[in-house]
Amino acid sequence: MSRKVAVLMGGLSPEREVSLVSGAACAEALARKGWQVVTIDAGHDVAARLTKADPDVVFNALHGSWGEDGRIQGILDYFGRPYTHSGVAASALAMDKHRTKAVLEAAGIACPKSILTDRFTAAKSHLLPPPYVAKPNAQGSSVGVVIVREEANQPPSLLAGDDWPYGDEILIEEYIAGRELTVAVLGGRPLAVTEICPKTAFYDYQAKYADGGSAHVIPANIPQDIAQLAMQQALQAHDTLDCKGLTRSDFRYDEKNNLLRLLEINTQPGMTPTSLAPEQAAHVGIAFDDLVNWMAENAHVPCDTAGKKETSAKTDP
């Protein structure tokens, strides 16, 4: 009898539509691998729906707030079945860009200089000399990110607008000129370095998820020492935050000054047809179906019935 997996998708965040695509792709892959699959559009009744579905494993394909910030992970801990990706603490920390950077910098990983403030203060005057980046402190997929150009006389007024939906905390971050790099880590193994060449002004939501929104160069055409450093730091970030399963760390590489800066770590990378982590897995010989199946097979249980912590890596990817 095949095991049952519940795929959580959709959800309540601004990244709902991307999550629906990720979830559908993962559900189809798991079905091809012989799992009995039930999909759950995760709303406020998610706990009741999980109880009714009674799966052996939960595949968390949610993105953004609620789905990857520790809240759904708390429900899944209480539910007591193995689930994919990171646990409560790592998820909550990684979703908070400001606090993540403090932890990573303490571990010796260089990140861009930044200031945490509220969106109304950020809209009044420049807190860093332009150019700089203004971004929500707790959103993913470049949602709400604004680049303030060097010639800007004042910050964008939209930050203080009544229709701003991305929370009041804003991170003001120095703009690192250069190239966009990313590294996926799977089960403690950094996979590859990809250079992202967006066809929009920067690697925004449209560039990430629209067909043809960006070009991916894998492996990135960069010096070998920079590639090795990016992979080492991605693994270090994954381990420092105690992440599980699959993560992806994003970097900026200032080629002129030979500087690498880690921007953030994503504990639940996209699993869409244009997503970077599955592309890196395929580059090292792991087909999409095998990747998704490995994640389900290696879903972690935070504690057993005796309260003893278990590990997530049961087999090598």
Q: Is 141 a catalytic residue?
A: yes
pLDDT at 186 over 50: yes
Average pLDDT for residues 183-200, to the nearest whole number? 92
**pLDDT digits 0-9 by tens, 194-215:** 999 977 555 444 444 445 567 9
Q: Is 153 a catalytic residue?
A: no
Task: Let me know: does 84 contact 112? Beta carbons within 8 Å.
Answer: no
CATH of domain 93-111+177-289: 3.30.470.20
Q: Give me the catalytic one of 11, 23, 70, 270.
A: 270
* Cα distances (angstroms) measured from residue 73 to each of 62, 67, 82, 209, 227: 11, 8, 11, 25, 32
Q: Give me the catalytic one of 180, 264, 279, 297.
A: 264
Q: Give me the catalytic one of 10, 11, 13, 15.
A: 15
Structure letter (DSSP) for residue 157: G
* Percent helix, strand and coil across the chain, each to the nearest 5: 30, 25, 45
**pLDDT digits 0-9 by tens, 257-315:** 999 999 999 999 999 877 999 999 999 999 999 999 999 999 988 665 334 444 444 56
Q: Give me the catalytic one of 16, 119, 179, 248.
A: 248
Average per-residue pLDDT for the chain: 89
Question: Cis peptide leading into 131, omega within 30 of 0?
Answer: yes
Q: Give me the catalytic one of 22, 114, 249, 266.
A: 266
Q: Is 15 a catalytic residue?
A: yes
Q: Give me the catalytic one of 166, 205, 209, 253.
A: 209
pLDDT at position 201:
57
Q: Is 310 a catalytic residue?
A: no
Query: How far is 45 from 51, CA to CA, in rounded Å?
Result: 10
Domain spans of the chain, in order of start: 4-85, 93-111+177-289, 114-174
Q: Is 178 a catalytic residue?
A: no
Q: Is 28 a catalytic residue?
A: no
Containing 32, the helix (H) or strand (E) segment is helix 16-32
* Cα distances (angstroms) measured from residue 264 to each of 26, 112, 300: 24, 10, 23
Whether 4-85 shares its CATH topology with 93-111+177-289 is answered: no
Q: Which residues pair with 78 in a beta bridge?
A: none
The model scores a pTM over 0.85: yes
Q: Is 209 a catalytic residue?
A: yes
> 4-85 architecture in CATH?
3-Layer(aba) Sandwich (3.40)
Q: Give me the catalytic one of 68, 96, 195, 250.
A: 250
- 78 CB burial (10 A radius; 0-12, 13-18, 19+): exposed
Q: Is 65 a catalytic residue?
A: no
**pLDDT digits 0-9 by tens, 110-144:** 999 999 999 899 898 899 999 999 998 887 656 78
